[in-house]
Amino acid sequence: MSRKSKIVQIKIEDTIFPNKSIGIYEDKKVIFKGGIKGQIVLVKFKKKRKDYIEGKLLEVIENSPLEKNLTKYGEYDLGPCPYGTLLYEDELKLKEEQVLNLFKKENIDGFEFLGVERSPNEFAYRNKMEYTFGDEFKGGPIVLGLHKKGRFYEIVDTDGCDLVDSDFTSIRKTVMNYFRSIDSSFYNKRNHEGFLRHLVIRKALSTGEILVNLVTSSQDSLDKKSFLNELLNLKELKGEVTGVLHTINDGLGDTVKADKIDLLYGRDYIIEEILGLKFNISPFSFFQTNTFGAEKLYSIVREFIGEEKKDIVFDLYSGTGTIAQIISPIAKEVIGIEIVEEAVVKARENMKLNNLENIEFIAEDVFKAVDNLDKKPDLIIIDPPRDGIHPKAIEKIIDFSPNRFVYVSCNPVTLVRDLKVFKERGYKIVRMKMMDMFPRTPHVEAAILMTYCGSEEEQ
């Protein structure tokens, strides 16, 4: 066996954000995705790098002392819950340690760290699930669930998954059993033949409204009346199904997209409420998946901003305009910029829904849009995607020279990269608070308040 394909047993000595483990083999670092500090694991070597070996986690041989929740999660083989075997308090400590290590590595210090805000709901916190049709083994019965950990083709039943409430489970099982009963086919990703592809369920956790979206190919027909009869006669739901959609997707990729959408029942959106504001959420709208966690996150942002009235505020990477609308009452004018046009359309609809008139939403790439802004903001809020701020855009953004920046990040790795640029341009980090939006996963969000070093404003 070559060194490249060698399989070894090693102990995980450390974990780094996001969900990467480090072990030692013959005085050489081995880095791979997954795992928990203290585990004894089998790892297959993939590539030999200059300073380390890149590996693939194959199997956990011995659990970590940190894993104190094995009774419930010991056999849990789903990708979404890599931290399921940890007690929640230990999970939060691990995330805090990993993120602060990123800051330490880049010599970013001297700020007030306000800890990690826990998710209001440790369980059943997700407001959206995207299930896939398939089989657990070749020739087996049709299954509606999630991809098996590390596998592209194998789907496992998610019965017992506690990331969602019982309404998700009831609808998923009803739909799965219905299509089993009529012997319908699932879309085979190898030969691109078959009918059933995905089931997307969205639930407004504050209002209980539920939107069900069945995604299929065009290779068969749906008995709409019979399908609706199954869904609308569910008795045990805590919420209410307010809309049912049938989406046709003949794309070859394994992503949910629409060639055609047919509204089968009700309306094609649900209404969610956050901090007293209403938000219209359609099938393909981006919205934070943890509703009550989002309330906490946006409350942190509002706290960092303060109650003093602002003249002009920029909300960059504004998405569907949630932050812009939340800060609208304390600003004379808010300008939101977002590249996804559908998100901007939804932001404008939500602005009208909430009777707000002091926000302007611009559908354009931030990198280009800032060139056309001739107003000087006293506050800029940045909430970029996982890749962070584009290296060319960040200089343009800083050139506006506001007294304050509030940076909301879903990826601390790119956050610290960007903060180095702000630091070089004369900004200091005043405080940081982390927000755990995704219990049982390695992900965590962070909110940062920065001020210009020359500012005499009291913090």
Structure tokens at 224: 């709409």
288 is in an annotated binding site: yes
Q: Is 39 annotated as a binding residue?
A: no
Secondary structure in 3-state letters for the chain: CCHHHCEEEEEEEEEECCCEEEEEECCEEEEEECCCCCCEEEEEEEEECCCEEEEEEEEEEECCCCCCCHHHHCCCCECCCCCCCCCHHHHHHHHHHHHHHHHHHCCCCCCEEEEEECCCCCCCCECEEEEEEEECCCCCCEEEEEEECCCCCEEEECCCCCCCCHHHHHHHHHHHHHHHHCCCCECECCCCECCEEEEEEEECCCCCEEEEEEEECCCCCCCHHHHHHHHHCCCCCCCEEEEEEEEECCCCCCCCCCCEEEEEEECCCEEEEECCEEEEECCCCCCCCEHHHHHHHHHHHHHHHCCCCEEEEEEECCCCCHHHHHHHHHEEEEEEEECCHHHHHHHHHHHHHCCCCCEEEEECCHHHHHHHCCCCCCEEEECCCCCCCCHHHHHHHHCCCCCEEEEEECCHHHHHHHHHHHHHCCEEEEEEEEECCCCCCCCCEEEEEEEECCCCCCC
Query: Which active-site residues does the annotation give?
Result: 410
Give the closest residue to 225 by CA, choosing from 185, 265, 195: 265
Residue 165 marked ligand-binding = no
Structure tokens at 327: 């800060």
Would you say 338 is a known binding-site residue?
A: yes
Distance between CA atoms of residues 398 and 427, nearest Å: 9
Residues making up the binding site = 288, 317, 338, 383
Residues making up the binding site for S-adenosyl-L-methionine = 288, 317, 338, 383
